[in-house]
Structure 1
Amino acid sequence: MSSYLPEKVKKLADSPIYVTLATIRPDGSPRMTVLWIARDGDELLLSTIRGRAKERDIARDPRVGIMFLDQRDPYGYVEVRGRATLSEEGGRELIDALALKYTGDETYRWDAPEATRIVIRVTAERVFTTG
Structure 2
Amino acid sequence: MTRPDGTVPLPPAARALVDAPEFAVLATGERHQYVMWAGRDGDELLMVTKRFRRQVRDVLAEPRVGVLLYARGRPQHYVRIEGVARVEADGAAELIDRLARAYTGRPHEVLVPAEEADRVVLRIRPRKVAVYGSPA
TM-score scaled by length of structure 2: 0.88
1:88 and 2:89 matched: yes
CA deviation profile, 1:31-58 (whole Å, cap 9, x unmatched): 0000000010010000110110000000
Instruction: Report SS of the residue matched to 1:66.
Output: strand
1:124 and 2:129 matched: no
Give the gaps of 5 or more residues in structure 2.
Answer: 1-5
Return the letter of the residue paired with 2:74: D
> How far is 1:113 from its partner?
2.1
Instruction: Report SS of the residue matched to 1:4.
Output: coil
1:71 and 2:101 matched: no
CA-atom RMSD in angstroms: 1.2
State the alpha-carbon separation in 2 of the partners of residues 110 and 13 from structure 1. Answer: 25
- The aligned length equals 127
Matching residue of 2:7: 2
Give the gaps of 5 or more residues in structure 1.
Answer: none
Instruction: Report SS of the residue matched to 1:106.
Output: coil
State the alpha-carbon separation in 1 of the partners of residues 64 and 109 from structure 2. Answer: 28
> How far is 1:16 from its partner?
2.1
Matching residue of 1:108: 109
The percent of aligned pairs where both chains have the same amino acid is 37
State the alpha-carbon separation in 2 of the partners of residues 110 and 102 from structure 1. Answer: 17
TM-score scaled by length of structure 1: 0.91
State the alpha-carbon separation in 2 of the partners of residues 105 and 56 from structure 1. Answer: 29
Instruction: Report SS of the residue matched to 1:77.
Output: strand
